[in-house]
Structures are given as structure tokens and as C-alpha cells.
Amino acid sequence: MTNELTEITVIGDDSTGIVAQFTSLLFERGINIEDIDQAVRDGLFRMTTTVDTSEMVCTEEKLREDLLELGDELDVDVQVRFPADRETQQIAVLVTKESHCLEALFEAWTNDELGADISVVIGNHDDLQPLAEQYGVPFHDVGDEKGTPDEEELLDLLAEYDADLIVLARYMRILSPNVVFRYEDRIINIHPSLLPAFPGARAYEQAVQEGVRIAGVTAHYVTTDLDQGPIITQRACDVRDDDTRADLKQRGQPLEADALLEAVRLHLNNDVSVHRGRTSLRDDADGYQPGLTRDAQRANPDRPVDGLGDALSEGGDGAEITTESDDD
């Protein structure tokens, strides 16, 4: 989604006619639909519509009013995000007990490297409240004694602080469709493995048990399918023969903070987009490290390449070589 487009999200119980009524309302106001996506999970309906409102025949205030009125009639929640709603985007950070990712975000924020504000930190435990208070950011604990979050309170807080982006900074709980659907492609999580390998809990331990030689971390958008959302950035590290889960975790935590921060920057700068479950970088998006470092890239061998020997044996006359490969 670019800065010039408006995003409309509709959430509610699944029923017939919702899509038709909202698209008709937009058509009647001269609004062109650029993209529309729908999903149903556990009886909950979500429709995200990206529209061009540059030539609409009503004001932004009138459109918002009409959409909310239709939402009330159909008993669904409606969110409208116009391009000019705010100059500075607001970030809500969700945490549990580990501090390294939150610290990296705070450091980038205080150094004016985000171009956005961290408006609130929300935890399912209160362990990181002192860190948030140190940076003057409100902290809210929405978890019970076992850390189970109250998602209705969470949603109220996200609305109260006008969250444009939700960052899961090692937040150790799965968000329900009721939350995810409302913030489609606006929730970024960091997972301690090179997804799609080792999803779910205890990813570092899985890597050690499987005997992999390379492990890593993945920052991705959150979907209703656990650890299967579109990948934004990844970082890798070696796994040594005698590594324990604790060793790999210690080596991985700085990578988690780095990959998460890079993914947040890409999102805030509108340099990454999602299409059919995959992300892509904008053509002029320079200066990012979505994967390997340049040193690691240079260390990778670039010879031999299939067919190169045949070309040389023919005297390098430029004859066309056709090969078959299992990758074709």
C-alpha cells in the first residue's frame, strides 16, 4: 500500500451481503478499488480494501461517517485509514519478559532512526515496565497471573493509542484472528529460526536437536497461521558441534533485534509490500539488509556453475547450452 491510498478494514461475524454493500457504497462515491482481500476464520469475517480516494465525490469526513454508519447497520467494526491521518506513525510494542528487542527499538527511536513514535508498550507480564518507564513510554500489563492476555483490553489499548504498527518484540503469545484481522499486514513478529524451518515454540532447541549447521531468525508479518506470514528479513548464524540451546539463544538474540529493527524500518518507510503471501522490496529501496551481510555474500562460492565446463571445452565460442535441472 502506498501513501496515496486509503485502507478500509471491516471485521465482524460472517454473513452474506457485506462485501456487496461496502463496495456499492464506494462505487457510488466515485472511489476506485485498487485491491480487496477477504478471509474467514472461526466464523470471524475480515475484508481489507485498498482504495484510491483522490477523485471521490465526497469529503473524507463524510466517507468515514457513511462507512461507520453502514458498519453499525451490519453490526461490523469498520476502520478507515486515510493517507493524511497523521504525519508520524504510532508503534505499539507487545512484550513478555525478554528485553533485547525492545531495547533495540527504543535505541533507534531515541536516535531518530525510525521516523515514527513508540506510543505504548503492552505486556502480558510486567517485567519490562521499568524499561518502558525509563524511556517515558506508557506501559500496560494485560496478562493474568499465568500471562494469558485479555485481548479485549489489548484491542482497546491499540485503539486508544492509535497504533499504525504493532511490533511483537518477543511477545510469547499467539494473537487470535480477532486481533490479527484488524491489523492485517501491520503486525511484525520476530521468530528465532529461519522460517519455514522450526516454527512454533522452542525453535533454538529444535535447531540443535535436528543438527543443522546454520540457524537464524526471521522477521515476518503475522497471519492467522502460526509462523507462516510473509517473510520480511532474516539473519543467519553457524551452529557448532557442542552448541546447547542456551548457546544458540545467546548468539541469536542480537540477530533477533537486528532483523526485527530492519523489518520495522522497511515497513515504516513503505519500502516493502505484500502480494500473495510474499514480500517484495520497492525498486529504489536501498541501504537495507534483508538477508545475508555483504561479507557473507562474498564468502559464498560462485563456481562451478552447471554448463560452464562444456562452454569452455567448446572453445568459448558462445554456443548456447541447454541443461535440465531438478530446479526447473
What residues are annotated to the active site? 227
Q: Is residue 221 within a helix (H) or strand (E), and if so which, with residue range?
A: strand 214-221
In angstroms, the CA 248 to CA 204 distance is: 6
In angstroms, the CA 318 to CA 10 distance is: 58
In angstroms, the CA 154 to CA 183 distance is: 13
Burial class (CB in 10 A: 0-12, 13-18, 19+), 273: middle
**CA dihedral of 63, 65, 68, 74, whole degrees rounded to 10:** -90
DSSP code of 292?
S
Backbone angles phi, psi at 173, to 5 degrees: -145, 150
In angstroms, the CA 166 to CA 95 distance is: 11
**CA dihedral of 198, 200, 204, 205, whole degrees rounded to 10:** -90
Is 310 within 8 Å of 318 (Cβ atoms)?
no
For residue 190, what are the CA distances in angstroms to 44, 170, 266, 310?
26, 7, 14, 45
DSSP string, 57-81: SS-HHHHHHHHHHHHHHHT-EEEEE
Is 295 within 8 Å of 303 (Cβ atoms)?
no
Write down the residue that cell numbers 451481503 correspond to: 17
Cα-only R_g, the chain? 23
